[in-house]
C-alpha cells in the first residue's frame, strides 16, 4: 500500500487531490496538511507510529516555507518520503531549487487525474518523473542556474547511442513505459538504461541527468 500525504495551501484543492486518489488500488491518503511544518510533523508522526509516509504531494507555495526548504526538510526525515511537487508552472518560484533539494516528481497543478495517479505510482517505486508541461521552461531555468554555479568537469562522458536516445526522450518528459513503447524495448531495459545514465553522469534524478547532459554538451535540446 502506497501511503500518501497531501500538503497544499488550498483546502479545496487538497480535497480534490484526495478524491482523485480515492479508490485507486494500492494507494491510501493518510492525511492532509496546509503548511510545511505540519507536513514534516505528520511525516515524523507516521514514522513513529510505524506507518510511514511513502509519497508527499507538495505544493511549492505553502505559506510558511518555500518549495526547496519544504522539500529538503521532508527529505531529511527518516525514513524519508518521496516528494512529488505540484507546481503552478515552470516559472513557479522554487521549482528549480526543489529539483536540487531532492524532489522526485514534478507535475503541473492543472494535470489530469490519470497523470496524477500515474505520477504517484511512479514516484512511489523510487523512480523519478517529469511532466511534459514543465520540461522545456524548467530545463532552461535549471541549465541557467547550473551555469551560474561552479562547474565540475566530468571529462568525457561515454553514453551509448541507446542511452542518448533514452535520455533525449526523458528530456521530452516521457516516462519509462512510453520510452519502451517508442523504442520497442522492455520497460525493464529502459530502467537499466536510466540507471546507467545516472551512474555515468553522477546524478540521482532524471531532471539532474538532463541538465548535466545539456550543460556538458552530451545532449542537445531543440
Domain ranges of the chain: 2-134, 150-215
* Residue 2 and residue 78 in contact, taking contact as beta carbons nearer than 8 Å: no
The residue assigned the cell 526522450 is: 169
pLDDT of residue 29: 96
pLDDT of residue 156: 47
CA–CA separation, 79 vs 138, rounded Å?
29
Q: How far is CA 23 from CA 26, 36, 62, 77, in A?
A: 9, 27, 27, 28
Helix/strand/coil for 27 = strand
Helix/strand/coil for 28 = strand
The DSSP element (H or E) to which 44 belongs, if any, is helix 36-48
Q: Mean pLDDT in each 10-residue stretch from start to end of the chain (222 residues)? A: 95 95 92 94 94 94 84 89 85 72 84 90 82 61 53 61 92 86 94 92 81 77 60
**Which set of grid coordinates corresponds to residue 3?**
501511503
pLDDT of residue 180: 93
| Residues shown for the chain | 222
CA–CA separation, 96 vs 136, rounded Å?
12
Contacts of 113 (CB under 8 A, 6+ apart): 20
CA–CA separation, 185 vs 203, rounded Å?
24
Report the topology of domain 2-134. Rossmann fold (3.40.50)
List 87's β-bridge partners, or say none.
Answer: 108
pLDDT of residue 69: 87
Q: Which CATH class is domain 150-215?
A: mainly alpha
Amino acid at each position: 500500500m502506497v501511503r500518501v500525504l497531501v500538503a497544499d495551501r488550498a483546502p479545496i484543492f487538497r480535497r480534490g487531490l484526495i478524491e482523485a486518489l480515492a479508490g485507486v488500488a494500492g494507494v491510501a491518503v493518510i492525511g492532509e496538511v496546509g503548511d510545511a511544518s505540519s507536513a514534516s510533523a505528520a511525516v515524523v508522526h507516521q514514522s513513529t507510529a510505524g506507518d510511514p509516509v511513502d509519497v508527499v504531494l507538495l505544493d511549492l507555495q505553502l505559506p510558511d516555507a518555500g518549495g526547496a526548504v519544504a522539500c529538503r526538510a521532508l527529505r531529511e526525515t527518516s525514513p524519508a518520503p518521496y516528494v512529488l511537487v505540484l507546481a503552478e508552472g515552470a516559472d513557479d518560484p522554487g521549482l528549480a531549487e526543489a529539483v536540487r533539494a531532492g524532489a522526485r516528481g514534478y507535475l503541473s497543478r492543472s494535470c489530469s487525474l490519470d497523470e496524477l495517479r500515474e505520477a504517484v505510482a511512479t514516484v512511489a517505486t523510487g523512480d523519478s518523473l517529469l511532466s511534459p508541461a514543465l520540461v522545456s521552461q524548467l530545463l532552461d531555468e535549471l541549465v541557467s542556474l547550473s551555469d551560474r554555479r561552479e562547474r565540475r568537469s566530468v571529462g568525457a562522458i561515454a553514453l551509448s547511442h541507446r542511452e542518448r536516445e533514452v535520455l533525449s526522450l526523458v528530456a521530452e518528459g516521457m516516462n519509462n513505459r512510453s520510452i519502451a513503447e517508442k523504442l520497442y524495448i522492455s520497460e525493464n531495459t529502459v530502467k537499466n538504461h536510466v540507471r546507467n545514465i545516472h551512474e555515468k553522469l553522477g546524478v540521482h534524478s532524471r531532471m539532474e541527468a538532463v541538465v548535466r547532459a545539456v550543460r556538458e554538451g552530451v545532449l542537445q535540446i531543440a
